[in-house]
């Protein structure tokens, strides 16, 4: 056996600072004094045997302990990793066989003043290490996580990026003098065989999947990939549904359409051949009743009870409105007065009017899951902070290259990372910190409102900026170490270290500057740099600076201060000029500010739009016989009165609901006047134009005539208004606040509008006709015209004649009708095929004006940002953290379950491209366990008072929290757990202990029952970069799936608490998870109610109601087709518009259908022609032209939302409504319209017998 020999013993001479050299000694190992036994047992239990002879004294053991503090905090999560590491250092420091594998290569003389002896200090030595040992040690440690900084621990301990770290360069870095910890050079030489007569140190190692001893388990899955098994794989993408290599829906719709065309044209051709055989003349009109020979022979057969009931109902309506109309014309003053009083009473509700601009209230229902989770988060952890953010580029700078000293590959640096630019950005940052705003005669600065996690010990604001690596200091940025020839270390060196170890308090280069932010927390590089590739942060092309500002949950005064400061912040940046910097920025208030600015700028556009409609209505209502009677026959005052009635109904609706405390929204203000104008103006045109076409009967007074006309048209108006009202009121069943509010206000406005039209407007119409008959001028009704009314029959309006003589006959020609059906069914098939491709969501940038600074910010955000929004996995109150079982369900370190909360989020981050979780979660509980370990110097208390003693305090009365026994090394449980947890959460990180939880976790743990229990807690990570609406929706969906899965595997479902994810955007995007269901529900409810009301009010004509419903359904489906073509996504705004298009479609369809059912002409074609002639012109002039003028103006709006959701959708709505109501519907009715109601025919004959109308109707 070879004798045991040392190479050193004891410490000699100061190397630098508090670091000392070891003394050269080549004798046998010396017995350790007993006061060193505890240390030896703690650090190197493998050498604690016999009389404990070793090559180190107590002081060397103490130095070893101090030097192992940092690796201990990060690697002790995985005991076998730490065991191997300690083995490496124990053999180096104390092994009795040192001379086998250590070779001293350089010493300097030293005189020991105490022993008065000459000695030698070792300044360099070689350490021969087995390759097998080195690789095994590296493999056991390479996966260990550093939970608070979301990175691998070796990234903090290897001096290199994790991906460049391997066994040799890790050990070389730990032994290099340049790392700032090692006092002299130790040169590792790796070999498994003896070399230069030395036997490499090749002790036995432990794999991370092995237990170190009986009391510890293998490392956790998170820290040891071998334990986990294979890396999780994202599930395969769902295979698209294809037929013949094309989208299956397209193929099915194409085949269906072709099949329809075949059958339809075969039927048409069959009917044509049948008629050629049975009728002599080519020109006999086809009576469609032959093809569908229901009641084909007129007036033979009995009248059914259904027809009689329908006729009675129809007659009842007619008589009611006739007598009512006559009453209103006879008593105009009381009716008008009563209407004005009613309007005034309703409008008095304006005193209580409230408008909602808070986006949370606009987009999410108070009862929705996301809203409840937001409330839970805000009450337990405080609301999510307000964010002020800048994205800075340096357009005039060029990339540079840094050459490390003394050797190493060149490192490229992006343009904004040059020192000059960083100084300029720091000036800008300081200027922002010094912005002052005033609120209520107080000055407000950033320091009054910012997030300062370590206050009151450290009041520095959290500023997430690359300059916080340099403590926001010009002098630290300029700090360099070198001589006149070389720069050994400068800001490049510091930057490269800090992006790897953002939580470090010593960059281990020659600079020894800290990386930790001045606010006490780490600054993660992915939050402050943009435009780099992979993890090469040095290639960044943009800097991101974020100022988190406190959000105040229930303190409006403090919130106003923050708003005042944000306003100054925005003004400052708008006026900031530096040619070397391009800045995009946004404050928390920016979006709301810009939406408000946009609403104001669009008021002009909306007013012009309404003015165009007003002017058109005022002119179009008049029926001017000659130029000389222009001012008498015009109906400007009546038109204005009609419009005022329409607007009053909107005002009444707002007033009534304001009484009940229901707040207004922007959508209500923008959409409802438009909707009610469409419906209301249409009714005005129908009344006025029908009266203009009517002849007064012999001996009939004006009130009787207007009454009779109202009896004819009011049922039709009542039908459309009532079905719209019911449809809208049922729309309030929706869960979406925007849709619900719109439906309430719209339903009420349409109802009041109808009531005012059949009362107030009819009285005003009577007064206007009297004025006209007395030859008084319009508007200036005191002045009388000399031009008498001609006795000749008044000519029909050009539009009416066009519809009657040209359009209707042409549209209903035999060859034209099949073409119309084929085209419309084709368009319907196309829309059905593309419906499922309509995008869901609302792109944030659409809500901004084109010229907004926020638009620029959004563009840069999607281009440069590398981390998405933070996401918190919240474990609700009720979990027991003090039991071993409860801890294992949550934590991610050694002994934790493989499906614990932290582990499942970690697994999700492994496949971030699928789960949209970007990083491993920061876990307070794992850091707490590392912090409380007796081996670390973090958790200490004064042995006199039991108070906490920070690691940086040097006081002999500070003792470990827990004893260095087997039991003490276990995790704290029960009362112990709760005793030390508050200390951990108040401990600030320092060089001796980097695990203090104050900055990282202060708000993550909620104490209950007077700090005797842990309530709700969260584990934070980040989403991956989210750019489009679909990304946000998907991220939220996936996070909820992960949280539900965690709740499931923890087995806590039945215990009344759960895990849920929370991110600040969930509240806005939750609606899109159910929007398809909401849209189907709302539109079906609307259609169903329209069908029922139409059935009832058409006198139980079920088939007619079916036809109206089919046409409206076609319009809605075609709206989806237009949305797909024109890139309009489905969201609350477009859903409101779709519900509204249901209402406007009723207007287009119901009047023509009712005219068809009451027509008593012989064949369906004739009835369709009559209905189209009489009602078509009013519908066309009333809605189509009125709206068209107004819509075109919206195209010039500054706001994208207006252009896309209002201009495009309204245009589509009016065009589709008009084409279906005035082209498709008459043709459909001419084919399959309901047959003539015989009871109605007879009643009409009775009513018109002996009059001029009988001759018109029947001869």
What is the SS3 assignment for 931-996?
HHCCCCCCCEEECCCCCECCCCCCCCCEEECCCCCHHHHCCCCHHHHHHHHHHHHHCCCECCECCC
The mean pLDDT value for 170-191 works out to: 85
Q: Which range (4-13, 241-250, 1129-1138, 1175-1184) has the least confidence? A: 1175-1184
Helices 419-433 and 556-574 cross at an angle (nearest 10°) of: 140
Instruction: Identify the H or E element spanning 361.
Output: helix 359-363
Question: What pLDDT is recorded for position 682?
Answer: 77
* Residue 479 reports pLDDT greater than 50: yes
Question: What pLDDT is recorded for position 562?
Answer: 92
* Residue 127 reports pLDDT greater than 60: yes
Distance CA 340, CA 641 (A): 12
Report the b/e string of 401-423 with b at 16+ CB within 10 A: ebebbeeeeebebbbbbbeebbe
* pLDDT higher at 5 or 301: 5
Query: By the 8 A CB rule, do 373 and 1066 touch?
Result: yes
Question: What pLDDT is recorded for position 329?
Answer: 93
Long-range residue pairs from 239-243, CB within 8 A, at least 24 positions apart, any chain? none
Omega before 456 cis (within 30°)? yes
Distance CA 806, CA 800 (A): 10
Question: What pLDDT is recorded for position 236?
Answer: 87
Neighbours of 886 (CB within 10 A): 17
Cα distances from 412 to residues 156, 509, 532, 540, 939, in angstroms, run 22, 19, 11, 10, 42
Instruction: Give residue-wise pLDDT tens across range 906-947.
Output: 999 989 889 999 888 989 998 898 898 887 788 889 988 888
| Beta bridge mates, 464 | 546
**With bands split at pLDDT 50, 70 and 90, how would you rate the model's confidence at 134?**
very high
Question: What pLDDT is recorded for position 1259?
Answer: 35
* pLDDT higher at 285 or 125: 125
Q: Which range (154-158, 645-649, 689-693, 821-825) has the least confidence? A: 154-158
Question: What pLDDT is recorded for position 308?
Answer: 83
Question: What pLDDT is recorded for position 585?
Answer: 94
* pLDDT higher at 1032 or 619: 1032
Environment class of 1254 (CB within 10 Å of its CB; exposed 0-12, middle 13-18, buried 19+)? middle
* pLDDT higher at 666 or 742: 742
Instruction: Give residue-wise pLDDT tens across range 430-447.
Output: 999 999 999 989 999 999
The mean pLDDT value for 121-150 works out to: 88
For 465-555, where are the alpha helices, taking DSSP H only?
A: 474-477, 491-498, 525-528
Question: What pLDDT is recorded for position 1190?
Answer: 67
* Residue 894 reports pLDDT greater than 70: yes
CA-based max dimension of the chain: 145
* Residue 1255 reports pLDDT greater than 50: no
* Residue 782 reports pLDDT greater than 70: no
The mean pLDDT value for 1057-1083 works out to: 91
Supply 103's token pair: 């070779």
**With bands split at pLDDT 50, 70 and 90, how would you rate the model's confidence at 148?**
low
* pLDDT higher at 347 or 632: 347
* Residue 791 reports pLDDT greater than 70: no
Distance CA 581, CA 799 (A): 63
Instruction: Give residue-wise pLDDT tens across range 1202-1214.
Output: 788 878 888 898 8
Instruction: Give residue-wise pLDDT tens across range 996-1015.
Output: 888 888 889 999 888 889 99
Quote the percentage of the chain above a pLDDT of 90: 39
Q: Which range (579-583, 622-626, 1150-1154) has the least confidence? A: 622-626
Distance CA 554, CA 551 (A): 9
Instruction: Give residue-wise pLDDT tens across range 357-406.
Output: 777 887 788 888 999 999 999 999 888 889 999 999 999 999 999 887 76
What is the SS3 assignment for 136-150?
HHHHHHCCCEEHHHC
Question: What pLDDT is recorded for position 43?
Answer: 86
For 142-184, where are the alpha helices, taking DSSP H only?
A: 154-157, 167-174
Question: What pLDDT is recorded for position 1256?
Answer: 47
* Residue 429 reports pLDDT greater than 80: yes
Q: Which range (111-120, 1140-1149, 1182-1191, 1215-1224) has the least confidence? A: 1182-1191
Instruction: Give residue-wise pLDDT tens across range 1131-1178.
Output: 888 888 888 888 888 878 888 898 898 887 878 999 999 999 888 887
Question: What pLDDT is recorded for position 785?
Answer: 63
Question: What pLDDT is recorded for position 557?
Answer: 86
Mean of per-residue pLDDT scores for the chain:
85
Question: What pLDDT is recorded for position 1061?
Answer: 96
Cα distances from 979 to residues 355, 948, 965, 986, 1082, in angstroms, run 50, 10, 19, 13, 56
The mean pLDDT value for 451-474 works out to: 89
């Amino acid at each position: 056996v070879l004798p045991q020999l040392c190479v050193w013993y004891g410490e000699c001479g100061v190397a630098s600072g508090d670091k000392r050299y070891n003394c050269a000694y080549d004798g046998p190992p010396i017995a350790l004094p007993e006061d060193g036994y505890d240390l030896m047992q703690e650090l190197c239990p493998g050498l604690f045997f016999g009389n404990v002879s070793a090559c180190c004294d107590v002081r060397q053991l103490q130095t070893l302990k101090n030097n192992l503090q940092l690796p201990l905090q990060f690697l002790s999560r995985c005991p076998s990793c730490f065991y191997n590491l300690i083995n490496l250092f124990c053999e180096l420091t104390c092994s009795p066989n040192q001379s086998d594998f250590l070779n001293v290569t350089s010493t300097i003389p030293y005189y020991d003043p105490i022993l008065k002896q000459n000695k030698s200090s070792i300044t360099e030595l070689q350490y021969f290490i087995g390759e097998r040992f080195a690789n095994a040690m590296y493999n056991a440690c390479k996966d260990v996580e550093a939970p608070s900084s979301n990175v691998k621990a070796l990234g903090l301990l290897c001096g290199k990026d994790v991906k460049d770290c391997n066994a040799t360069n890790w050990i070389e870095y730990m032994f290099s003098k340049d790392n700032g910890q090692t006092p002299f050079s130790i040169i590792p030489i790796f070999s498994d065989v003896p070399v230069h007569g030395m036997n490499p140190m090749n002790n036995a190692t432990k794999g991370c999947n092995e237990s170190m001893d009986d009391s510890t388990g293998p490392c956790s899955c998170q820290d040891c990939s071998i334990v986990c098994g294979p890396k999780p794989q994202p599930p395969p993408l769902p295979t698209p549904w294809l037929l013949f290599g094309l989208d299956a829906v397209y193929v099915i719709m194409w085949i269906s359409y072709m099949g329809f065309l075949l059958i339809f044209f075969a039927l048409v051709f069959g009917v044509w051949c049948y008629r050629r055989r049975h009728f002599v003349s080519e020109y006999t009109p086809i009576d469609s009743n032959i093809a569908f020979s229901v009641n084909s022979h007129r007036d033979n057969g009995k009248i059914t009870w259904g027809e009689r009931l329908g006729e009675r109902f129809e007659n009842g309506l007619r008589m009611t409105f006739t007598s009512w109309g006559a009453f209103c014309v006879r008593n105009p003053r009381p009716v008008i007065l009563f209407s004005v009083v009613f309007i005034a009473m309703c409008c008095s509700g304006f005193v209580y009017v409230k408008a909602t601009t808070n986006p949370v209230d606009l987009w999410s229902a108070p009862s929705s899951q996301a809203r409840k989770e937001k409330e839970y988060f805000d009450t337990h952890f405080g609301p999510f902070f307000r964010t002020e953010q800048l994205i800075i580029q340096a357009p005039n700078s060029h990339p540079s290259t840094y050459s490390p000293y003394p050797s190493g590959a060149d490192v490229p640096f992006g343009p904004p990372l040059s020192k000059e630019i960083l100084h300029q950005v720091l000036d800008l940052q300081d200027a922002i910190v010094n912005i002052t705003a005033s609120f209520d005669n107080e000055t407000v600065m950033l320091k009054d409102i910012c997030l300062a996690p370590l206050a009151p010990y450290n009041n520095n604001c959290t500023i997430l900026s690359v300059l916080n690596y340099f403590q926001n200091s010009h002098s630290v940025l300029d700090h360099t170490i070198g001589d006149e020839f070389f720069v050994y270390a400068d800001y490049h060196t510091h930057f490269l270290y800090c992006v790897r170890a953002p939580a470090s308090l010593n960059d281990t280069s020659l600079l020894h500057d800290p990386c930790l932010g001045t606010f006490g927390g780490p600054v993660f590089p992915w939050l402050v740099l943009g435009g780099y590739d992979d993890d090469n942060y040095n290639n960044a092309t943009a800097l991101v600076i974020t100022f988190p500002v406190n959000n105040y949950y229930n303190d409006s005064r403090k919130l106003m201060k923050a708003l005042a400061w944000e306003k100054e912040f925005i003004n400052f940046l708008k006026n900031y000029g530096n040619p070397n910097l391009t800045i995009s920025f946004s404050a928390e208030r920016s979006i709301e500010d810009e939406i408000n600015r946009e609403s104001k700028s669009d008021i002009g556009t909306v007013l012009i739009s309404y003015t165009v409609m007003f002017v058109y209505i005022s002119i179009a209502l008049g029926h001017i016989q000659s130029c000389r009677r222009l001012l008498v026959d015009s109906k400007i005052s009546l038109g204005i009165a009609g419009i005022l009635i329409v607007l009053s109904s909107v005002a009444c609706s707002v007033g009534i609901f304001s009484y009940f405390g229901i707040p207004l929204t922007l959508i209500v203000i923008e959409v409802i006047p438009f909707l009610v104008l469409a419906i209301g103006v249409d009714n005005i045109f129908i009344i006025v134009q029908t009266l203009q076409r009517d002849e007064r009967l012999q001996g009939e007074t004006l009130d009787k005539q207007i009454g009779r006309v109202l009896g004819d048209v009011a049922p039709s108006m009542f039908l459309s208004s009532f079905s719209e009202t019911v449809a809208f009121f049922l729309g309030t069943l929706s869960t979406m606040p925007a849709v619900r509010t719109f439906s309430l206000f719209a339903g009420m406005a349409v109802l009041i509008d109808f009531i005012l039209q059949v009362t107030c407007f009819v009285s005003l119409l009577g007064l206007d006709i009297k004025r006209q008959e007395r030859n008084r001028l319009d508007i200036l009704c005191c002045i009388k015209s000399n031009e008498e009314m001609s006795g000749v029959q008044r000519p029909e309006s050009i539009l009416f004649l066009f519809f009657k003589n040209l359009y209707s006959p042409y549209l209903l020609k035999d060859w034209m009708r099949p073409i119309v059906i084929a085209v419309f069914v084709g368009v319907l098939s196309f829309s059905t095929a593309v419906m499922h491709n309509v995008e869901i969501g609302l792109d944030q940038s659409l809500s901004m004006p084109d010229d907004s600074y926020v638009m620029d910010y959004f563009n840069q955000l999607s281009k440069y940002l590398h981390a998405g929004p933070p996401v918190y996995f919240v474990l609700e109150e009720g979990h027991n953290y003090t039991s071993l079982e409860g801890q294992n369900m949550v934590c991610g370190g050694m002994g934790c379950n493989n499906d614990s909360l932290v582990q499942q989020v970690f697994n999700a981050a492994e496949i971030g491209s699928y789960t949209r979780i970007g990083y491993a979660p920061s876990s307070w509980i794992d850091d707490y366990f590392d912090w409380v370990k007796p081996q670390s110097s973090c958790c200490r208390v004064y042995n006199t008072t039991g108070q906490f003693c920070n690691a940086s305090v040097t006081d002999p009365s500070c003792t470990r929290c827990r004893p260095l026994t087997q039991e003490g090394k276990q995790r704290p449980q029960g009362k112990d757990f709760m005793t030390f947890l508050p200390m951990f959460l108040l401990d600030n990180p320092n060089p001796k202990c980097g695990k203090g939880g104050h900055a990282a976790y202060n708000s993550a743990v909620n104490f209950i029952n007077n700090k005797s229990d842990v309530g709700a807690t969260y584990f934070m990570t980040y989403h991956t970069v989210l750019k489009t609406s679909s990304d946000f929706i998907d991220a939220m969906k996936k996070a909820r799936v992960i949280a539900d899965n965690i709740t499931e595997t923890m087995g806590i479902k039945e215990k009344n608490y759960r895990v849920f994810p929370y991110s600040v955007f969930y509240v806005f995007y939750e609606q899109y998870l159910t929007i398809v269901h909401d849209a189907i529900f709302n539109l079906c409810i609307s259609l169903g109610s329209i069908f029922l009301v139409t059935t009832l009010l058409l006198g139980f004509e079920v088939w007619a109601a079916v036809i109206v419903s089919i046409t409206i359904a076609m319009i809605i489906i075609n709206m989806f087709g237009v949305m797909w073509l024109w890139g309009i996504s489905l969201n609350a705004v477009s859903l409101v518009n779709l519900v509204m298009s249901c209402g406007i479609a009723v207007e287009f369809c119901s009047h023509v259908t009712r005219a068809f059912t009451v027509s008593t002409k012989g064949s369906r074609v004739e009835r369709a022609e009559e209905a189209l002639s009489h009602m078509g012109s009013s519908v066309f002039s009333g809605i189509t032209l009125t709206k068209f003028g107004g819509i075109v103006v919206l195209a010039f709006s500054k706001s994208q939302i207006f252009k896309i959701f209002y201009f495009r959708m309204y245009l589509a709505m009016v065009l589709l409504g008009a084409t279906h109501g005035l082209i498709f519907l008459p043709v459909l009715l001419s084919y399959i319209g309901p047959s003539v109601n015989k009871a109605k025919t007879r009643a009409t004959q009775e009513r018109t017998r002996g009059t001029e109308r009988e001759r018109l109707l029947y001869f």
